[in-house]
Amino acid sequence: MTKLSVSLFAALAAGLLSSCASAQISSGVAVQDSQSPVSQSAISIAEAQQIYDYAYPLVIMKISQDLMFTVPIRERSVPNHFIHFKRLAMPQNRAVVLGNRNTLYSVGWIDLSKGPVVFEIPDMGERYYVMPLLDAWTNTFESFGSRTTGQQAQKYFIVNGDWNGEVPAGYQKVVSPTNMVWITGRIQADSPKDAVAAGKLQDAFKLMTYAQLQGAEDPFADYAPEFIAMQVRKPVPYSLKMTAEQFYDSFLRMWAANGSPAADAPMIETLKKAGIVRAKTRKFGELSPAVQQALQSGLEAKQAQYLKDFYEGSAQSQPWIFNRERMGVWGRDFERRTYWAMWGLGANLVEDAVYGVSQLDETLTPLNGSNAYKIHFEPGDLPPTSAFWSVTNYDEEGYLEANAENRYSLGSNHELAFNPDGSLDFYLSNSRPDIAEVNWVPAPRGNFKTLLRIYWPKEQVLRGEWDLPPIEQVSGAD
């Protein structure tokens, strides 16, 4: 079996507040009584590990938000403003793995602790887009876009669960379970030239506090980040090396501002058993020595487990890894939620996009650019989609490699050469195949991985009634 680097998982489903308790803070649902007496009994290591998994999403969301706000290559940002990425991924871009050659990103971090936020989408014409909204626990609670809300202009008034007031005319009310909201928007762009047109649509999006819309100053203009990009560098490795005090102090601040779902009541009881109560327990150091020791041991065990997975990867034992499991709605599966918060933070709903990825051919041999490979689609058996699909190749680390054709992706939005019987062949190799009309996706010189993206997949994909065709080696190195 071949190890699949974790960087691959990081972009599979993607891919990045100062908290205090107040009357304005959205509780989500405050399932514990903060006025009840707090006892601190020893907890088991298993319970401590469960608490770590429960806390992790809040911590990684906070780190990722502040990292984006403080990246030195662009102007510093604050909550409730879009960060637009105007260019498709290129080989020189090393900030993210498996860079997207099909969509531009528009990212917005929302903080509802000081009042409602307005979010406006322009008329998108015929261009595919998706705008998922994630809460602080990484649950996708809304997804606006071509599939769900259509192409017309839209205006949303986003509030937390504690807000009571009148929604302004023309806006649709959206209630967030938490104060923190992350918009991870993707807008179709078929080429660098097309990205210019998509960029103009990005500029027409609006995200700001309702107070600003009414002419007031930005209430977050003086936002002070807890984490700085130059210190963090990479969110996941950083999070897996935090001390128990750093980790749980960050969790407690975030939890005070972002309440737990009602369904989490059993976990809230476990936390309460340890003496941890939302908006009342402020610091790790306030806990009893026995609880601190248990949490420390649980954290160290989980960090060791996840660091090993992160740096060594996971074994690929089949020709494709094709995830069709429901994403973005985690329920009480806290370990799975943590897994995907590490490997694919900001994961799309599978209804919006699914990804097939491989670094092996059909014989489970590593893909290598010195060979030529074929992906054959039978007539009428192209990836079922209501939007578009594409194939992109990356080097072993998940980056694009420069090629003379300046071509890095090919798919349904490009002019393709079909066979006389209506079937379709895609070729993956470093050198151009000796075929007159060829659908060629240039591959890196050495070992590589390929990613097939399907946006807005049809039901037969989600039901498992359609599978990716094999990657067949058709020629080898001389």
Q: For the segment 45-100, what is each residue's pLDDT rounded down to a tens digit?
A: 999 999 999 999 999 999 999 999 998 877 779 999 999 999 998 898 766 678 88
Domain that includes residue 428, residue range: 359-475
The Cα 387–Cα 457 span in angstroms is 8
pTM comes to: 0.86
Residue corresponding to tokens 């309460």: 272
Residue 298 falls within a domain, yes or no? no
Q: Is the predicted pLDDT of residue 17 greater than 50, yes or no?
A: no
Residue 449 falls within a domain, yes or no? yes
Last residue of a domain, one of 194, 210, 226: 210
Summarize the confidence of residues 460-468 as an average pLDDT. Answer: 95
Last residue of a domain, one of 193, 210, 227: 210
Local confidence band at 186 (pLDDT 50, 70, 90 cut-offs):
very high
Domain tally, the chain: 2
- Identify which of 406, 367, 404 has the alpha carbon closest to the alpha carbon of residue 375: 367
Q: For the segment 168-182, what is each residue's pLDDT rounded down to a tens digit?
A: 999 999 999 999 999
Residue 64 falls within a domain, yes or no? no
Local confidence band at 34 (pLDDT 50, 70, 90 cut-offs):
very low
Residue 241 CB contacts under 8 Å (≥ 6 apart), including other chains: 303, 307
Q: Is the predicted pLDDT of residue 105 greater than 80, yes or no?
A: yes
Are 361 and 474 in contact by the 8 Å Cβ rule? The answer is: no
- Identify which of 348, 347, 341, 352 has the alpha carbon closest to the alpha carbon of residue 137: 341
- Identify which of 182, 174, 161 has the alpha carbon closest to the alpha carbon of residue 14: 182
- We report the CATH number of the domain holding residue 471 as 2.60.120.600
- Identify which of 460, 243, 477, 250 has the alpha carbon closest to the alpha carbon of residue 373: 477
The pair of three-digit structure tokens given for residue 242, joined into one six-digit string: 């935090």
Last residue of a domain, one of 210, 229, 260: 210
The pair of three-digit structure tokens given for residue 433, joined into one six-digit string: 């195949």
Local confidence band at 308 (pLDDT 50, 70, 90 cut-offs):
confident
Q: Which amino acid, residue 265?
A: A
Q: Is the predicted pLDDT of residue 2 greater than 60, yes or no?
A: no
In which order are the strands placed within the sheet that holds 180-188? 82-84, 103-111, 180-188, 129-135, 140-145
Q: Where are the beta strands (DSSP E) in 112-179?
A: 117-121, 129-135, 140-145, 154-160, 172-176
Residue 94 falls within a domain, yes or no? yes
Q: In this predicted structure, what is the pLDDT of residue 30?
A: 36
- We report the CATH number of the domain holding residue 200 as 2.60.40.1610
The Cα 352–Cα 145 span in angstroms is 9
Q: Is the predicted pLDDT of residue 323 greater than 90, yes or no?
A: no
Residue 190 falls within a domain, yes or no? yes
Are 207 and 183 in contact by the 8 Å Cβ rule? The answer is: yes
The Cα 396–Cα 404 span in angstroms is 20
Residue 55 falls within a domain, yes or no? no
The pair of three-digit structure tokens given for residue 431, joined into one six-digit string: 């050198």
Residue 175 falls within a domain, yes or no? yes
Residue 390 falls within a domain, yes or no? yes
User: What's the mean pLDDT when you consider all of the chain?
Assistant: 89
Burial 301-337 (b: 16+ CB within 10 A, else e): ebbeebeebbeebbebeebbbbbeeebbebeeebeeb
- Identify which of 75, 84, 76, 112 has the alpha carbon closest to the alpha carbon of residue 209: 112
In terms of Cβ atoms closer than 10 Å to its own Cβ (0-12, 13-18, 19+), residue 465 is exposed
Local confidence band at 223 (pLDDT 50, 70, 90 cut-offs):
very high
End-to-end Cα separation, the chain, in angstroms: 26
The pair of three-digit structure tokens given for residue 350, joined into one six-digit string: 């599978």
Q: Maximum distance among all alpha carbons in the chain?
A: 78
User: Which helix (H) or strand (E) covers residue 256, if one does?
Assistant: helix 244-257
Local confidence band at 313 (pLDDT 50, 70, 90 cut-offs):
low
Q: Is the predicted pLDDT of residue 5 greater than 80, yes or no?
A: no
The Cα 328–Cα 305 span in angstroms is 23
Question: What percentage of the chain exceeds 90 in pLDDT?
Answer: 77
- Identify which of 245, 182, 151, 244 has the alpha carbon closest to the alpha carbon of residue 15: 182
Summarize the confidence of residues 102-128 as an average pLDDT. Answer: 97
Q: Is the predicted pLDDT of residue 11 greater than 70, yes or no?
A: no
User: Which helix (H) or strand (E) covers residue 380, if one does?
Assistant: none
